Structure 1
Amino acid sequence: MTRVTYRAIRVWQRDLDTFLRLWKTESWWPTIEPLLYLSSLGFGLGVYITRLSNGLSFLEFIAPAFVATTAMFAASFECMFSSFVRMEFQRTFDAILATPLTIEEVIAGEILWGMTRGVFAAVSVLFVISLFGLVHSPWALLTPLVAVVEGLMFASVAMIITAIVPAIDAFNYYITLGITPMFLFSAVFFPLDRLPQIAQTIAWVSPLTHAVYVQRSLILGQISWNLVWSVLWIAFLALIAFNVSLVLMRRRLIK
């Protein structure tokens, strides 16, 4: 496999330049969507829920989780729909490959940009929940670093899906069977100890569960060494997914 070099940054820079031209329409949703969730669930449903078993209010419990989930959605959608459009419809990849850049560098640049969108989304949500007084610890300043690892992982997985789907509509399978179950069963809306033991074990395999756990712990100031293991698990999955995505995208692009 061709080694990825610093030139992958040029692809990232190209995507950044495009984003900056469209930032007025591209940057608002990471803050608006969490506001809707916080309003409907936290201030709506949360009124009817007493303190959870861990002593937190429902709003305090779900708000930090949105830092992780929004990063997942942003990184995934960027490296699925946006990358697919650049690859198949706009033929941007073909144009870039006419330069000295390799396929692996193009894909690595795309993944780095997906990761960046994830970090931007996470920071945006962190800012929003801080306005509601839901950030309880200076450890929350580390959440962007966790979002880097999480964003890299989900962007890489999304690029794997992009490499194998026959058409853009096929992304719905991954969203329905992958992203949505993680969103619903990764301790975003309720503690995992409410689930049967087998379900808890399965849930802890999910990278989103670990991302939610780390972000919630940092924002609430619940620090332990278990956070390190969760970050390492996400990083391990990111390393595997990143390399697999390079192989599969090379196969697709050279057909």
Structure 2
Amino acid sequence: MITDARFSWLFLAVWRRNLRVYRRIWVINFLPPMLEPLFYLLAFGLGFSGLISEVVWHGRAMSYTDFFAPSMLAATVMWQAFLETSYSSFVRMFYQKTYDSLLATPLTVDEIIVAEIVWGATRAVIAAAAMLAVVAALGYAPSWQALAVLPIAFLGGLTFGAMGMAFTSVTSSIDMFNIPVFLVITPMFLFSGTFFPLTGLPAWAAGLASTLPLYHLAELTRSACLGLLGPASLGSAAVLAAFAAVFIPLSLVGMRRRLVK
């Protein structure tokens, strides 16, 4: 029986293993984050900009694309991290038996799972960097504070990576991931202040949306791109850290239960 709860820097060996696999197919992994913002900006940003004269966000009037483009950075972080620790981690665990091989080494369950979550956050940073380059080139990230998107993406990646791993720990088949994707992730994508300010929602819905992690991640990426990071931004960062602090232990407990025999 595996009962060792030790945790050490050995988790970096698993992180490096995932990085090596990623580098072998980096073109396939790198292109979508580059092309995705262009598709969204063309479909929603440029398309709606002719219909919406301006958007008011926290008392500031701006064009729709100035409001919308930075929020796509947050959405990309969410999707990249969550999908990496849900579908991809499940494939490594259930189909490829990678976790079984790793557990035959001195690695512990905690080290493997933390490495998976950190790798999900790393994937989010890589995607955010690629997308930021596109958004900045189009003029929607004019402030030097936009560089803060990278550490923000890592924090958001830890949050959504931990959420994905928590679902992986209780999911019996890969098809079951449709439930959290369509009932949790997609609603967050649509109603967390990404496509429109929360002031466009009823008061009860706006209050609920303001508690979601993607809302706070979008607040941070938008503030960074527009050069508006300040003391108030610490509150959103604290919310993301709180979600990570809850879901990382849940992931560890759930995966120990699933993997320890």
Same fold, TM exceeding 0.5? yes
Cα distance between partner residues in 2 of 1:77 and 1:223: 28
Partner residue of 2:36 out of 16, 24, 33 = 33
| 1:15 and 2:18 aligned | yes
Q: Which runs of 5+ in 1 are unaligned?
A: none
Partner residue of 2:204 out of 187, 191, 198 = 198
Cα distance between partner residues in 1 of 2:61 and 2:130: 26
1:50-109 Cα shifts (integer Å, max 9, x gaps) = 112331111111100011110100000000111100000000000011100001111111
Give the percent of matched residue pairs that are identical in Structure 1 and Structure 2.
40
CA RMSD after TM alignment: 1.1
Instruction: Give me the TM-score of the superposition, normalised by structure 2.
Output: 0.95
User: What does 1:230-245 correspond to in 2, within 5 Å?
Assistant: 230-245=236-251
Which stretches of structure 1, 4 residues or longer, exceed 4 Å deviation after superposition? Answer: none
SS at match of 1:190: coil
Residue 177 of structure 1 and its aligned partner are, at CA, apart by 0.4
Asked if the contact 2:30–2:130 (Cα under 8 Å) also holds between the matched residues in 1, the reply is: no
Residue 223 of structure 1 and its aligned partner are, at CA, apart by 2.9
Residue 47 of structure 1 and its aligned partner are, at CA, apart by 1.6
Residue 222 of structure 1 and its aligned partner are, at CA, apart by 1.8
SS at match of 1:188: coil
Partner residue of 1:110 out of 116, 128, 131 = 116
Instruction: Give me the TM-score of the superposition, normalised by structure 1.
Output: 0.97
- Counterpart position of 2:161: 155
Between 1:53-62 and 1:75-84, the stretch displaced more is 53-62
Asked if the contact 2:117–2:158 (Cα under 8 Å) also holds between the matched residues in 1, the reply is: yes
Asked if the contact 1:4–1:108 (Cα under 8 Å) also holds between the matched residues in 2, the reply is: no
Give the paired residue count: 255
Residue 224 of structure 1 and its aligned partner are, at CA, apart by 2.8
SS at match of 2:54: coil
| 1:44 and 2:57 aligned | no
Cα distance between partner residues in 2 of 1:167 and 1:15: 22
Residue 25 of structure 1 and its aligned partner are, at CA, apart by 1.4
- Counterpart position of 1:89: 95
| 1:224 and 2:225 aligned | no
Cα distance between partner residues in 1 of 2:49 and 2:247: 37
SS at match of 1:151: helix
User: What does 1:32-181 correspond to in 2, within 5 Å?
Assistant: 32-53=35-56, 54-181=60-187
Instruction: Report the residue type matching 1:158 in the other structure.
Output: G
SS at match of 2:5: coil
Instruction: Report the residue type matching 2:237 in the other structure.
Output: V
